[in-house]
Amino acid sequence: MSHSERISAIVRILEANPQGMSEFALLKSLQSENLIYLEPDTFTDSLKLFQTHFLLFHHLYRLRDEWHDEGKGCLSIHTLSIQLRPYVQGDAALAFNDPLRAYYLDLDELAKTEAEDVERLLHSFWRGLGQPAQAGERQKALSILGLEQDASESMIRKAWRQQAMALHPDRGGDAEQFKNLSWAKNYLTKCL
């Protein structure tokens, strides 16, 4: 299937879902219409999943560029929400200075990425979610919550509630600090 045929199929599916859709839902839609072939282990094999993701995002970024050039619309690209939106003049400048765009449009990145690279990326991703891999995680979690070594489960939950009220993003708090706070509570309560 050519790039233009893939793009037409993606546009048709996204237009049928104006609220947007996840990357997974888009892949499944393309697969159900026999527009792409996904091997049975695509979603369990890290390298195959990465390659599938990369190729889809390559086509999405190309579509976004084409739509900007033609003034047709804007394409919001995120793994959790891929959405066609109306064209807004000026959005193109922001879109073209996007480092992810440069990455996904460079097919050499796909060619040079091996299974070990994908595993390193995944490990880095999980560490970035506030799940550090170093020894001393308990001490770090206690420190985040401002607790001592002998903290009980009720003390952990109380400290979390007090800080969560101030740090929750919906209340104007810091999302990163809230994420770390939640990690600390979850880590400590699982260890009890």
Confidence class of residue 128 from pLDDT cuts 50, 70 and 90?
low
Strands 74-76 and 83-85: antiparallel
Closest CA to 179 of 109, 128, 123: 128
Residue reference for tokens 């770390």: 180
Rg (CA), the chain: 21
CA 32 – CA 24 distance, rounded (Å): 12
Tell how far CA 152 is from the center of its chain.
Answer: 35
* Domain 137-191 architecture: Orthogonal Bundle (1.10)
Residue 25 near residue 84 (C-beta atoms within 8 A): no
Confidence class of residue 133 from pLDDT cuts 50, 70 and 90?
very low
Question: Domain boundaries in the chain?
Answer: 3-128, 137-191
User: pLDDT digits over 139-171, tens only?
Assistant: 888 888 888 888 888 899 899 888 888 888 777
User: pLDDT digits over 41-65, tens only?
Assistant: 988 888 999 999 999 999 999 999 8
pTM over cut 0.85? no
pLDDT the model gives residue 135: 43
Token pair, residue 64, equals 């976004």
